[in-house]
Amino acid sequence: MNFCRPENNFTNSHRKRFSPGIRIFSGWTSGITCLLLVFFMASCSEFFPRVEKDDEWVVHEYANIILYSRPENHSQTASPDDDAIFTILENQHFYYETIKDSLGLNFQEKVMIYLYNLDEAINSIGTYEGGHAVADRSSIYYTFKRPSFRDNFDRIAYIGPFEMVQVITQQAFGKPFTQMMNVGYAMAFTGTMGRDEGFDGEIYGHRILFLMEELYRNDQLMTPHELLHNTGRARHVYYPNAGFFVLYLWKHFGITNINRLFSLSREEFEKGLLQVTGNNLDDLTDHYLSYCHDRLSD
């Protein structure tokens, strides 16, 4: 899929500090955190993080991206320095423009990113690393962690596009949506999952095609019916399968056509698929499995 790449015209961010005592949310108890974390593992886009005493933020704004980061010496682990902040703002703006242009959207909402230091993330947002999107609030909650990595666009990054995709698609297309399309769109744009050090010492994500070749060899290829209904599979199995299937749909039926399927419920999806593609789920499955065999077999 050839994504539209906007020019990079980053200028300067401006900063301000919140007064002590301001909270983003309040009233959550520690007992709810575990329950929400379990829920997040099933659907990170629907996870409402618990935020305790968020009384010290440095705010950076560029175009439609507002980044909230911790000041220097806020905790025992590092806060992002100016170079990291520049990189995050530039990349997230790039992702924002790439996603909306590729999907054919006139999306203009501001997206807020709350970036927590590594040692406070588990208590604040329920995860030791990574993060989650809360699309209803146009917000991303993420952990700042070094080292940086190279994303699927060959850019140095600290936060990938996964959560930005979820914010924009859910805001633009609405609910309900299936886990298959929600995860599939995010994975298709992100293009990678997991990270490893390369021969050059840099950190790289595992590309979807590489992951799917391994899953195919291990007999873990999921059919469209399984993706639609069996959403409880392990993340390392479900996520690449969903992303690969969405890439297949975009390639064969066009991204703007497939956008019409995003907000359909599980019960509505098969009827919508027939209307959009001219194929029922069984016929599409036969073609998809043949496509996977050609692309993934040795």
pTM, two decimal places: 0.82
Closest alpha carbon to 8 in 110, 156, 112, 138: 156
Q: What is the mean pLDDT of residues 282-287?
A: 95
The more confident residue out of 128 and 84 is: 84
Rounded Cα distance between 26 and 67, Å, is 20
Instruction: Kindly list the domain boundaries of the chain, sorted by start residue.
Output: 30-173, 179-296
Rounded Cα distance between 15 and 68, Å, is 9
Question: Left (φ > 0), alpha (ψ -120 to 50) or beta: where does 134 sit?
Answer: beta
**Given pLDDT bands bounded at 50, 70 and 90, which one contains residue 90?**
very high
Which residues, at least 6 apart from 244, have a Cβ–Cβ distance to it below 8 Å? 187, 188, 208, 209, 212, 292
Q: How many CB atoms lie within 10 A of CB 47?
A: 22
- In single-letter form, the type of residue at position 51 comes to V
Output the pLDDT for position 73.
94
Output the pLDDT for position 137.
93
Burial 270-283 (b: 16+ CB within 10 A, else e): beebeebbebebee
Cα angle 220, 160, 128; round to 5: 80
The strand order across the sheet containing 111-117 reads: 58-62, 65-69, 111-117, 139-144, 131-134
pLDDT, tens only, 231-240:
899 999 999 9
Rounded Cα distance between 1 and 179, Å, is 22
Q: Tell me the two tokens of residue 186.
A: 């995010």
Output the pLDDT for position 199.
75
Output the pLDDT for position 55.
67
Q: What is the mean pLDDT of residues 22-33?
A: 30
Q: What is the mean pLDDT of residues 32-49?
A: 40
Output the pLDDT for position 28.
31
Output the pLDDT for position 151.
92
High-pLDDT (> 90) share of the chain, %: 70
What's the half-sphere exposure (Cβ side, CA atoms, 13 Å) at 94? Answer: 24
Q: What is the mean pLDDT of residues 52-79?
A: 89
- In single-letter form, the type of residue at position 75 comes to S
High-pLDDT (> 70) share of the chain, %: 82
Chain position carrying tokens 């190279």: 150
Asked whether the bond before 147 is cis by omega within 30 degrees of 0, the reply is yes
pLDDT, tens only, 209-227:
999 999 999 999 999 999 9
Q: Please determine, for residue 7, whether its predicted confidence score (pLDDT) is greater than 90.
A: no
**Given pLDDT bands bounded at 50, 70 and 90, which one contains residue 13?**
very low
**Given pLDDT bands bounded at 50, 70 and 90, which one contains residue 14?**
very low
Output the pLDDT for position 298.
73
**Given pLDDT bands bounded at 50, 70 and 90, which one contains residue 48?**
very low
Q: Where are the beta strands (DSSP E) in the chain?
A: 58-62, 65-69, 111-117, 131-134, 139-144, 149-150, 156-157, 192-197, 203-207
Output the pLDDT for position 32.
35
Pairing of strands 111-117, 65-69: parallel
Q: Tell me the two tokens of residue 49.
A: 């993080």
pLDDT, tens only, 159-194:
999 999 999 999 999 987 899 999 999 999 999 998
Q: What is the mean pLDDT of the chain?
A: 84
Closest alpha carbon to 60 in 39, 88, 32: 88
Reduced to 3 states (helix: H, G, I; strand: E, B; else coil), residue 226 is: helix
- In single-letter form, the type of residue at position 243 comes to G
Output the pLDDT for position 183.
96
**Residues pairing with 193 in the sheet:** 206
- In single-letter form, the type of residue at position 174 comes to G
Output the pLDDT for position 54.
61
**Given pLDDT bands bounded at 50, 70 and 90, which one contains residue 49?**
very low
pLDDT, tens only, 71-82:
999 999 999 999
